[in-house]
Structure 1
Amino acid sequence: MGIRNKLFVTFLATFLVLILAAGGFFFFAFEQSLSKYIDERQQAQVERLAEHLGVLYGQRGSWRFLLEEPRLLARLYWLAGDREARLERDGGGPRRDRDAPHHLTLLSPDKRPLLGPPPPSRLSEQVPIRVGDAVVGWLAYPDQEAIRDKLDRRFQERLLRFMSTMALVGLGLSLLVSWLLARHLVAPVTALTRHTRRLREGEYEARLTSPRRDEIGQLIRHVNGLGERLDQGRRARQRWFSDIAHELRTPLSVLQGELEAMVDGVRPLNQDGIAALEAQVRQLTHLVNDLHDLALADAGNLRYHFRPLDLDSLCEDAVDAVRPALERRRVTLEASLPPAPISGDPVRLRQLLDNLLQNSLKYTDEGGRVRLTLEADGDQWRLTLDDSAPGVPDDALPRLFDHLYRVESSRNRNTGGAGLGLAIGQRIVEAHGGTMSAAHSPLGGLRITVRLPGSA
């Protein structure tokens, strides 16, 4: 059974239970209230009749006038409010009790029957008839259990017919409302099913539109977000494969061209030619190693061995290693490195520092400046690397940490860069619980800011 049918049956059963419960409660409460009303009305009628009889007894001096004309009691009772007695009297017929109410009994002061049927031995009520303070007789009538059967049957029949009609109307409304509710609630689920089927078939650009603000609307927005992430992943994967193929093609093409030139005798096979080939192989090996490290970092499989260390000592070693290359390009290096104890992997952090400094070495014009500063920032250490021109456009700053991204206006493959150093560095920083960001440098080039948590 589908979810729509389940909801339909659930709503229908709920509505029917509510209708039956409400109808039963209404029937019981109304019948009890009506019974109480009839009892009170009957008592009020008999009391009014007793007052009339008291006045007549005071005028006549005895009950002879009533015994000689019994139908007078029925007329008096009708005047007191009993319309049922009038209906019976108007119906006519050779009945002995049609001239007096069949359920009233006139009793003497000592409670001997004078007129009417004998009062029942139980379920009997008696109302005194007074003239002044003296009791001149009694009116006895049975409790409603004995006299209201005919009215009850007619009332119950009418009430049951009415409730049956209302139950049928309620059933029809329940069917309609249950169907509409089930359809309304299942419609977004059906749409989500179709949408997820399209996502499974690779249509990641498909989106659902819904103005809902409830949980289903939130689910639709989450599914749309999932589709967007899948679409971004597909585009990134396509771009990633394209960039890798492009980066590998360049050194391979150079190697192929050099080897073909040597084979054809265009270029002599000497030390210079072998060195050129070795440089291309080294660049290709470096690219493959970077791709391997980045793949491990993205998969969370890049191994780290954390231990207490001094970040300033790592920075000094990295600066000493790159200083000769900077001096050859007449690039001035400034370093401010106070003691900075942290917990981290020295091999990976050294890889991070080498990538950052090599990035500045490759893309800083000759005669420029590089400044490396380390300072405390709350419970973190902030490492800032600034270099001079050329700078980076504003739209390129958020993409510097993407795989294989390079700012073509200032970077070229002759420097040996593949656009993976910053991406690998960001993964290393994130594995240490820190952050890495790029901004414009006050020196005119690029500023890289690394924040790492200090040692506890």
Structure 2
Amino acid sequence: MKIRRIPIALRLFLTVLLTTLLITTVSLGVLHVNMQRNFSKYVADVEMQKLDLVIQNLAEVYAVYHDWGNAIQAQILQIEGEAAPDDYDRLSRWWLRRQYDIALQQRYFQEHTLANVNSSVVEPEPGKRQANAEELRWLELNLPSQFQPFEGLVFPLSANQNAFRPDRKNEGHQNTTESSGKKQFISMPDRLGLSSRLSLYDAQRQFVVGEPAETQISFRPIMVGEKIVGYLGLKPVLDQEDALSINFFSKQTRYLLLAYALSILASLIAALLLATYFKKPIQRLLNGTRELTKGHYQHQVKVNRNDELGDLSTELNHLAVILDQHETSRRQWVADTSHELKTPLAVLQAQIEAMQDGIRKATPEHLAAMMHQVNNLKKLTQDLSDLAQAEAMQLKCYFSSIDPWQVIEQEIESFKPKFEQAQLDLIVSGEGTQLQLDIDRFKQIMLNLLSNSIRYTEAGGQVHIHTSQSATEWTVYVDDSPFGLSDEQLARLGERFYRADDSRTRATGGTGLGLALSVKIAKALGGELSFAHSPLGGLRCKLSFPKIKS
């Protein structure tokens, strides 16, 4: 069953879109719920700011009586006459509303008095009614006091039908007030409906009087000096269950849905742009990897970005260069190997054909020449095998504790006839130590280094073998005199089949693999073989190994 593939651009687009939708949904949901729960309280807090004068009057009343119950009872007892059975209860429930009416009248009088004073300087606002001087004078004569909230009433309350003034412009009532000296009871219209939602609590927030509410209430402290003596509470005007609130929140829901739709549209556009922004460089990288799989190692990916995709394109281009170098090296390896095998095989073929044709007899000298070519082939194939194993890190090594200088002295002793035959002056000085090495592999390195010195040093020259050591490392140097090497030739030493002097090496039987193999063996033994210009004018081979930790 074939699984449907989802492109990375589509995954990125869906991830951004769904994340945005989730955040938008949660945010709008929380906003809506929070508004529905707290908006009514916010409205009440705003309305509470209009009750500053009421709170101030209540604080002054408490400062006189020092108890809310005493204050209410004392102010009710100021009314003359004989009370009906339920008059005291009615006035107790009405007391807080009456305090609100008094504060409302006082504010009204203050605002209109100030407005009339300023009207001579500043033109009044159009459409706003201004009280005339006669009305202000009547208001001033009948302005109630918070200490006598029921002034103008008599017991029983049913006898006060004519005590309320329906029309302030009634001159008869005005004359009655002036002649009797008593204030007329005035009831102000409560357009905001605050008086029906007020409640009074003591300092411990125990209900005293007013309109108790089971829903949340906004509180403002009533203070005398620095002490809180009570709280004025206001029931919210909005209820989540009433029609106005439902209508209000329905409108808010429509606005939230509109914001939700706009958020979806914006996130959709952003996700598409972001997906496109990432898709193009990813597609270029994909095309680049396809070119590499086809063997087009010179293909370069162009992604000009300062981010991880830019870094990936740089690494991919670097990989292409390395693969191209390896492919070139592989081809050169095949060409060099076939070339090195071709020469001894051609010589063997010519000698065998000459013997078959009777041109050359199978004498011991001719057979020895053929054996020499066979040995060259054997050495070449063995070197190739060892080099392949070393590069694959599969070269077998058998470590033991040895003194490398003793091994070097033994090899030098066996090479002395060759040094004498090449007319080279050999100088040897060194000291040994105990190292963990494979003795056969170490001998293989020294054999290659000594053979290389004999092969590349002119007759009458000099070869100097010496050692140095530190607390952590032991080193042997093989220095020879010219032929010397250029810097370019020195840099290529250790490459497979590289010969600094191809004609001279072929004449002496070199394959061009000795130094390359020695470098790999030294690394496999935990050491390092490097090359530099010798103080004698030729080549310096430096072979170093770490000492055994005690």
Structure 2 length as normaliser, TM-score?
A: 0.67
Q: Following superposition of structure 1 onto structure 2, how do residues 78-157 of structure 1 map, counting pairs within 5 Å?
A: 82=192, 122=213, 143-145=236-238, 149=242, 151-157=244-250
Task: Provide the residue aligned with 1:417 in structure 2.
Answer: 510
Task: Provide the residue aligned with 1:227 in structure 2.
Answer: 320
Contact 2:435–2:547 (Cα < 8 Å) also in 1: yes
Equivalents in 1 of 2:541, 2:320: separation in Å?
33
User: For each residue in 1:76-117, what CA deviation from the matched residue of structure 2 results, as whole angstroms up to 9, or x when unmatched?
Assistant: 545xxx4xxxxxxxxxxxxxxxxxx6x85699xxxxxxxxxx
Q: Following superposition of structure 1 onto structure 2, how do residues 262-341 of structure 1 map, counting pairs within 5 Å?
A: 262-264=355-357, 266-267=359-360, 269-341=362-434
Equivalents in 1 of 2:532, 2:24: separation in Å?
69
Residue 51, structure 1, aligned to residue 103, structure 2: yes
- Gaps in structure 2 of 5+ consecutive residues: 1-5, 55-99, 110-138, 144-150, 154-160, 170-185, 199-209, 218-231
- The alpha carbon displacement at 1:184 in A equals 2.9
Contact 2:197–2:234 (Cα < 8 Å) also in 1: no
Change in Cα spacing, 1:77 to 1:367, as seen in structure 2 (3 Å) is same
Q: Following superposition of structure 1 onto structure 2, how do residues 355-394 of structure 1 map, counting pairs within 5 Å?
A: 355-394=448-487
Contact 1:438–1:449 (Cα < 8 Å) also in 2: yes
Equivalents in 2 of 1:235, 1:106: separation in Å?
94
Equivalents in 1 of 2:373, 2:233: separation in Å?
127
Contact 2:41–2:236 (Cα < 8 Å) also in 1: no
Between Structure 1 and Structure 2, whose CA radius of gyration is higher? 2
- State the secondary structure of the residue aligned to 2:460: coil
- The alpha carbon displacement at 1:28 in A equals 3.7
Computed over aligned residues only, the root mean square deviation of the Cα atoms, in angstroms, reads: 3.4
Q: Following superposition of structure 1 onto structure 2, how do residues 185-200 of structure 1 map, counting pairs within 5 Å?
A: 185-200=278-293
Task: Provide the residue aligned with 2:47 in structure 1.
Answer: 42
Task: Provide the residue aligned with 1:351 in structure 2.
Answer: 444
Equivalents in 1 of 2:239, 2:513: separation in Å?
102
Which of 12, 26, 41 matches 1:7? Answer: 12
- State the secondary structure of the residue aligned to 1:18: helix
User: For each residue in 1:20-48, what CA deviation from the matched residue of structure 2 results, as whole angstroms up to 9, or x when unmatched?
Assistant: 22222333444555423321343444647
Equivalents in 2 of 1:380, 1:140: separation in Å?
90
Contact 1:45–1:77 (Cα < 8 Å) also in 2: no
Change in Cα spacing, 1:264 to 1:44, as seen in structure 2 (3 Å) is closer
Change in Cα spacing, 1:451 to 1:223, as seen in structure 2 (3 Å) is same
**2:152 is aligned with what amino acid?**
S
- The alpha carbon displacement at 1:120 in A equals 6.9
Equivalents in 2 of 1:179, 1:427: separation in Å?
54
Contact 1:258–1:277 (Cα < 8 Å) also in 2: yes
Equivalents in 1 of 2:417, 2:450: separation in Å?
12
- The alpha carbon displacement at 1:272 in A equals 3.6
Moved more, 12-21 or 208-217: 208-217
Equivalents in 2 of 1:373, 1:208: separation in Å?
52
Which of 69, 82, 96 matches 2:166? Answer: 69
Q: Following superposition of structure 1 onto structure 2, how do residues 154-193 of structure 1 map, counting pairs within 5 Å?
A: 154-193=247-286
Task: Provide the residue aligned with 1:92 in structure 2.
Answer: none
- The alpha carbon displacement at 1:266 in A equals 4.9
- State the secondary structure of the residue aligned to 1:404: coil
Equivalents in 2 of 1:71, 1:42: separation in Å?
28
Change in Cα spacing, 1:328 to 1:143, as seen in structure 2 (3 Å) is closer
Change in Cα spacing, 1:410 to 1:455, as seen in structure 2 (3 Å) is farther
**1:339 is aligned with what amino acid?**
G
Equivalents in 1 of 2:246, 2:383: separation in Å?
96
Moved more, 47-56 or 240-249: 47-56
Moved more, 202-211 or 159-168: 202-211
Change in Cα spacing, 1:44 to 1:390, as seen in structure 2 (3 Å) is closer
Task: Provide the residue aligned with 1:430 in structure 2.
Answer: 523
Equivalents in 1 of 2:475, 2:163: separation in Å?
118
User: For each residue in 1:282-336, what CA deviation from the matched residue of structure 2 results, as whole angstroms up to 9, or x when unmatched?
Assistant: 2222212211222222222321110000101000011011111110121011111
Task: Provide the residue aligned with 1:21 in structure 2.
Answer: 26
User: For each residue in 1:243-285, what CA deviation from the matched residue of structure 2 results, as whole angstroms up to 9, or x when unmatched?
Assistant: 0011111122222333344445555554443333232222222
Task: Provide the residue aligned with 1:88 in structure 2.
Answer: none
**1:69 is aligned with what amino acid?**
P
Moved more, 407-416 or 359-368: 407-416
Change in Cα spacing, 1:105 to 1:243, as seen in structure 2 (3 Å) is closer
Change in Cα spacing, 1:158 to 1:335, as seen in structure 2 (3 Å) is same
Contact 1:365–1:389 (Cα < 8 Å) also in 2: yes
**2:105 is aligned with what amino acid?**
L
User: For each residue in 1:139-172, what CA deviation from the matched residue of structure 2 results, as whole angstroms up to 9, or x when unmatched?
Assistant: 9996525699465345324322322221111010
Contact 1:4–1:182 (Cα < 8 Å) also in 2: yes
- State the secondary structure of the residue aligned to 1:374: strand
User: For each residue in 1:335-386, what CA deviation from the matched residue of structure 2 results, as whole angstroms up to 9, or x when unmatched?
Assistant: 1121222111111101111111011111111111111111103411111101
Change in Cα spacing, 1:306 to 1:326, as seen in structure 2 (3 Å) is same
Contact 1:123–1:143 (Cα < 8 Å) also in 2: no
Equivalents in 2 of 1:140, 1:291: separation in Å?
100
- State the secondary structure of the residue aligned to 2:465: strand
Structure 1 length as normaliser, TM-score?
A: 0.79
- The alpha carbon displacement at 1:69 in A equals 2.2
Equivalents in 1 of 2:196, 2:233: separation in Å?
5
Equivalents in 1 of 2:196, 2:444: separation in Å?
117
The percentage of counterpart residues that share the same residue type is 32
Change in Cα spacing, 1:62 to 1:364, as seen in structure 2 (3 Å) is same
- The alpha carbon displacement at 1:75 in A equals 7.8
- State the secondary structure of the residue aligned to 1:334: strand
Equivalents in 2 of 1:382, 1:42: separation in Å?
95
Change in Cα spacing, 1:71 to 1:259, as seen in structure 2 (3 Å) is farther
- The alpha carbon displacement at 1:409 in A equals 6.1
Equivalents in 1 of 2:162, 2:537: separation in Å?
130
